[in-house]
A = this chain, B = another copy of it.
Amino acid sequence: MQTKLRMGMIGGGIGAFIGAVHRLAALMDGQIELVCGAFSSNAQKSKQSGEELFLLPNRIYATYEEMIEKEKALPENVRMNFVSIVTPNHVHFHPAKMAMENGFDVVLDKPMTLNLNEAKELKSVVEKTGRTFCLTHTYTGYPMIKEAKQLIAKGVLGKIRKIYIEYPQGWLSTFLEGENNKQATWRTDPKRSGIAGCMGDIGTHAFNLVEYVSGLQVVKICANLNTYVEGRLLDDDGDVLLKFNNGASGVLSATQIAAGEENNIKLKIYGEKGGLEWQQCDNNTLQLKWLDKPKEILRAGTGYVSNIVAHNTRVPAGHPEGYLEAFANLYKNFALTIRAKANNEIVKNEWLDFPGIEDGIRGMAFIENVVASSKSNEKWIEFRI
């Protein structure tokens, strides 16, 4: 008899933003249950969080080390199958490494690690342990993003020439980190966030989305990072000129000081024959633009989109899905993958379509390269890993 997959969570206690999102995404499809957690570096807070999530008292742990060890000791049909790590960036590498080395698959929030070195080391852990690893670049979970990727791969736009991506937020327009705002505080703290602020937090999402959809790789960059809010320790805004491995060029703009903007990441890609446009605030739609015929509006949940869309959609067209469902697609495909592996069944390509260790490596390299470029007087720097 099959059972739900059992998830343990590291981080994501009461009041956390992304932890709650991970739980919603994991639970929604009925394939996964939360069985244990180490929700906070504060043991009391972890306990309280676990109770609110209806966990058994003995499955609520004070530390992730304790969780991994004790869960490992449980019978196979009881212990967690994988961990979901939703802590700030500086607590990504160690729990992920420990979990994999102790036989657990891992879902990890982005950016993957605190720096590129940790990322490379984590890659070797993945390779050595053979565990399944998912990095939650949410935007790749949207069905119409997957359609876009597929259409480009099929060549319907012709050779790609131009890519624009913008990720505008406004919530850091003021010195929130001085007002005890939890989300702002760790994201603007180099010790917990790494060497980049805006570029690490949302720039990496934009970078990942560009490479995921286009199938291209960035080879040169020219970056200008800014810090607009006085007293802030990391960049809160930046623009990056991009050159791709096929000769295409592009612009990546990410900002957290665009006052009045929410979170509308938007992607436009143009090839020789046509272009496409997608934006999060209208995520069930993909616009296809053509040189000499009317623009087409493709919609999730319809009969005319590809199977990959159908696989990542839950309801018919016109019943809007959103951010949580995109996130849930990562978990669903991760769950299908680890279940198939456990059952020695074939893992379908469409299940494997979630970001992994290579995305993490490139994402961390993006951070280090844009920071270097921004400081450099040289116009173009190579994208190095």
Whether A75 is near chain B, meaning CB under 8 Å from some CB there, is no
CA distance A258 to B272 in the complex (A): 8
What are 27 A-B residue pairs whose CB atoms fall within 8 Å in the complex? A24-B30, A27-B29, A30-B34, A158-B259, A164-B166, A173-B272, A173-B291, A222-B241, A224-B249, A251-B253, A255-B270, A259-B271, A259-B273, A260-B288, A262-B301, A263-B317, A292-B304, A293-B304, A294-B304, A296-B296, A296-B297, A315-B323, A315-B324, A320-B320, A321-B323, A377-B378, A377-B379
> Which residues of chain B have C-beta atoms less than 8 A from A261's C-beta?
270, 275, 289, 318
Closest chain-B Cβ to A53's Cβ sits at a distance in Å of 6
Measured as residues with beta carbon below 8 angstroms from the partner, the interface class of chain A is 35 or more
Whether A182 is near chain B, meaning CB under 8 Å from some CB there, is no
Whether A233 is near chain B, meaning CB under 8 Å from some CB there, is no
Instruction: State which of A1-9, A100-108, A120-128 sits at the interface with chain B.
Output: A1-9
Contact B317 A324 (CB under 8 A): no
Known: A294-B296, A304-B292. A320 touches B4 (CB 8 A): no
Whether A21 is near chain B, meaning CB under 8 Å from some CB there, is yes
> Which residues of chain B have C-beta atoms less than 8 A from A274's C-beta?
259-260
CB contact between A260 and one of B29, B168, B289 (< 8 Å): that residue:
B289
Contact B161 A291 (CB under 8 A): no
Known: A28-B28, A30-B27, A378-B377. A295 touches B226 (CB 8 A): no
CA distance A296 to B295 in the complex (A): 6
CB closest residue in chain B, given A271: B259
CA distance A288 to B297 in the complex (A): 10
Whether A98 is near chain B, meaning CB under 8 Å from some CB there, is no
Known: A251-B253, A294-B296, A323-B320. A51 touches B239 (CB 8 A): no
Contact A239 B251 (CB under 8 A): yes
Interface string of A165-198 (1 = CB under 8 A from B): 0101111011000000000000000000000000
